[in-house]
């Protein structure tokens, strides 16, 4: 992988709701009305205005993304994307997960977002295997960065030391 692309990728352990960036990505459900995990944490931190704006969006199909303001978050925007539920891998899950990342990156670029932070989409209650999801996330993002100036930096914000190790190993594997 090109060194210029590697400089634009970052893997950090932390809490995505604390990110002070142009945009954070929310691993949302198709209704965009909040839920558990990352989705619930983002909605709680952003405040009721986020839910109100999301109600007006009419949901979001799997593999697509929508953008809102960040409200009470330090991030200026929230990009809501719906990843696939893992069903063993034979139902197009890999392409849908890749599409969720591409759709999010396209919205970030369209809105001029320079720095965007992603969680590990679909790896929580949607049960996508973390190692496979990390490779898809990093490969899709590096391909996007090779062809686009925006975003200038993409941060993968993972929750645990083992998740960070998974992402670092995935990055080595695709480099």
Q: What is the CATH number of the domain that holds 79?
A: 3.40.220.10
* pLDDT of 1: 78
Instruction: Report yes or no on 141 lying in a domain.
Output: yes
Instruction: Report yes or no on 57 lying in a domain.
Output: yes
68 strand-pairing partners: 78
* pLDDT of 175: 86
Catalytic residue list contains 39: yes
Instruction: Report yes or no on 58 lying in a domain.
Output: yes
Of the residues 2, 15, 22, 39, which is catalytic? 39
* pLDDT of 101: 98
Instruction: Count structural domains, the chain.
Output: 1
Q: Which domain holds residue 160?
A: 3-170
* pLDDT of 27: 97
Alpha helices by DSSP H, the chain: 3-6, 37-46, 48-55, 93-110, 130-147, 161-174
ω into 125 cis (within 30 of 0): no
Instruction: Report yes or no on 34 lying in a domain.
Output: yes
Instruction: Report yes or no on 175 lying in a domain.
Output: no
Instruction: Report yes or no on 131 lying in a domain.
Output: yes
* pLDDT of 103: 98
In tens digits, the chain (175 residues) has pLDDT values of 789 999 999 999 999 999 999 999 999 999 999 988 999 999 999 999 999 999 999 999 999 999 999 999 999 999 999 999 999 999 999 999 999 999 999 999 999 999 999 999 999 999 999 999 999 999 999 999 999 999 999 999 999 999 999 999 999 999 8
Instruction: Report yes or no on 31 lying in a domain.
Output: yes
Neighbours of 145 (CB within 10 A): 23
Instruction: Report yes or no on 16 lying in a domain.
Output: yes
Residues 6+ apart with CB under 8 A from 94: 132, 136
Burial group, residue 43, by CB count within 10 angstroms (0-12, 13-18, 19+):
buried
* pLDDT of 68: 98
């Amino acid at each position: 992988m090109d060194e210029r692309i590697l400089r634009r990728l970052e893997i950090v352990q932390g809490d995505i709701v604390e990110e002070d960036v142009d945009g954070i990505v929310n691993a949302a459900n198709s209704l965009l009305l909040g839920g558990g995990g990352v989705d619930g944490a983002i909605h709680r931190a952003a405040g009721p205005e986020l839910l109100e704006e999301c109600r007006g969006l009419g949901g979001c199909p799997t593999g697509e993304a929508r953008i809102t303001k960040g409200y009470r978050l330090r991030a200026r925007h929230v990009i809501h994307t719906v990843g696939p539920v893992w069903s063993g891998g034979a139902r197009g899950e890999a392409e849908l997960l890749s599409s969720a990342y591409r759709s999010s990156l396209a919205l970030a670029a369209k809105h001029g977002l320079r720095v965007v932070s992603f969680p590990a989409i679909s790896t929580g209650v949607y049960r996508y295997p973390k190692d496979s999801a990390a490779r898809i996330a990093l490969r899709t993002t590096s391909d996007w960065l090779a062809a686009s100036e925006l975003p200038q930096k993409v941060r993968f914000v993972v929750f645990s030391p083992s998740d960070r190790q998974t992402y670092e190993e995935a990055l080595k594997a695709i480099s």
